[in-house]
Amino acid sequence: MRVLTLNAGSTSLKCALLAVEDSTATPRTEASAEASGLGSSHASAFLENADGSRRALPLEGSRPAEVLPGFLRELHKHLPAPEALAHRIVHGGDRREPARVDADLLTELEALEPLAPLHQPAGIAGIEASRAVFPDLPQTACFDTAFFADLPEEERVLPLPVACRRQGVRRYGFHGLAYTDVVHQLGEDLGQRTLLAHLGGGCSLAALREGRPIATTMGLTPDGGLPMATRSGDLDPGVLFYLLREGRSTDELEDLLSRHSGLAGLSGLSGDMRELEEAADAGAEDARLARAVFSRRLQAQAGAYAALLGGVDTVAFSGGIGEHDAKVRATALAGLAALGIRPDTRVIAVREDHVLARAAFSQATS
């Protein structure tokens, strides 16, 4: 069975056409496509065939939801027809398993948009665009939050009144599909005490004991935890009260913290770590500061999770920054030297499409 997978992130789109024999086998990649750096000067898109040959793809729009329709039409022109589709959906609420897409599921996912305003609309747009281009194919949704469904109670709850918890205000955790595949790729090398760092447009850490997550930095929404490309990460709540009293509306505040903070806000330049390194090397102080703040927060959180685990056996990085920025990796590991952790050039290349393909195969054949 050929399965087309779609991962609509906050700054990128990733697709792969995979041949799947069964739900336990490793899928074979027949082609892949990516649109990256959306919203920045580095924006580009390409289709890569199994033989390594590449074709540039046109981009229409800047945000993932805008780019999706044209992106999928281009893929339909150049790829063999798939028999099923699978989507990465960031917020699945309390769902623990992949689900077949239908009207009821879409309504449920739309209700979760306020908890993931940068991602959920793109994921839903991916489903709708896929329906338009491939109207007769079964579609499966796979949820980032499912990986963290069994977080310990003391990690899942937030220090708020019980009434808030009963409303579903708790830590959900995100990047679960990326972490699932890192765990799969590490296999026997996972270790008993594992620190995973997914660093891209969105950034998070997860602490695993015996392969099961016991803590993660993102919370109710993907805006919490580490500073990110355009998201602030954790803040003193008093900052929000102050800005509200100074006249900001809740919509303005959400836009500020989700789309204009993080690396982009600190630097006044860009949320792209590559651009910031180039600017810092050229003497831009705010770009240097943005990288320094990011690295410091990452190092501090890595140390906190190492303490929570009682030591670390394995550290793995994924995401665009995690895979390609050796300086950030080295900084994160430097504070763990006392535990015997040293910078390592080995990096896990996350293939979320394999997780999605196995799920779609199971849904399509059940």
Q: What pLDDT, in 10s, does the model give residues 115-124?
A: 888 889 889 9
**Bigger pLDDT: 281 or 63?**
281
What contacts 137, CB < 8 A, 6 or more positions away?
82, 83, 84, 85, 130
Q: What pLDDT, in 10s, does the model give residues 37-90?
A: 887 777 889 999 988 899 998 888 877 778 888 888 888 888 999 999 999 999
Mean pLDDT of 354-364: 88
Q: Per the confidence metrics, is the pTM higher than 0.85?
A: yes
Q: What pLDDT, in 10s, does the model give residues 340-354?
A: 777 664 556 677 888
Domains of the chain: 2-149 (3.30.420.40), 189-339 (3.30.420.40)
> Would you call 353 a catalytic residue per the annotation?
no
Q: Is the pLDDT of residue 133 over 60?
A: yes
Catalytic residue among 102, 144, 251, 325: 144
Region of poorest pLDDT, from 155-164, 300-309, 356-365: 356-365
What is the pLDDT at residue 26? 84
Mean pLDDT of 15-35: 90
What is the pLDDT at residue 355? 86
- Average pLDDT over the chain reads 91
What is the pLDDT at residue 345? 47
What is the pLDDT at residue 346? 55
Q: What pLDDT, in 10s, does the model give residues 233-266?
A: 999 999 999 999 999 999 999 999 999 999 999 9
Mean pLDDT of 123-150: 94
Q: Is the pLDDT of residue 272 over 90?
A: yes
Q: What pLDDT, in 10s, does the model give residues 160-177?
A: 999 999 998 999 999 999
